[in-house]
Amino acid sequence: MKEVLIVKHAVGGRTFIHSGTDSLSYEVHPEGEGWRITVSTPKNAAIEELLNWKHELNVFLFQEFDDQPTRKIWFYVKEGPVRYEDQLQQLIIKAQSRIDYVPDEFDM
Domain residue ranges of the chain, discontinuous segments joined by +: 2-105
State how far the Cα of 1 lies from the Cα of 73, in Å rounded to an integer. 14
Phi, psi of 107 (to 5 degrees): -95, 145
Three-state DSSP state, 66: coil
| The pairing of beta strand 97-101 with beta strand 71-76 | antiparallel
Which whole number is the average pLDDT over 23-49? 96
pLDDT of residue 79: 82
Q: Which of 80, 76, 77, 74 is nearest to 99 (CA)?
A: 74
State how far the Cα of 63 lies from the Cα of 108, in Å rounded to an integer. 22
Tens digits of per-residue pLDDT, 60-104? 999 999 999 999 999 999 888 999 999 999 999 999 999 999 987
b/e sequence 57-85, b meaning 16+ C-beta within 10 Å: bbbebbbeeeeeeebbbebebeeeebebe
Residue 108: is its pLDDT beyond 70? no
Tens digits of per-residue pLDDT, 43-59? 999 999 999 999 999 99
Cβ contacts of 69 within 8 Å, gap of 6 or more: 102, 103, 104, 105
Residue 107: is its pLDDT beyond 70? no
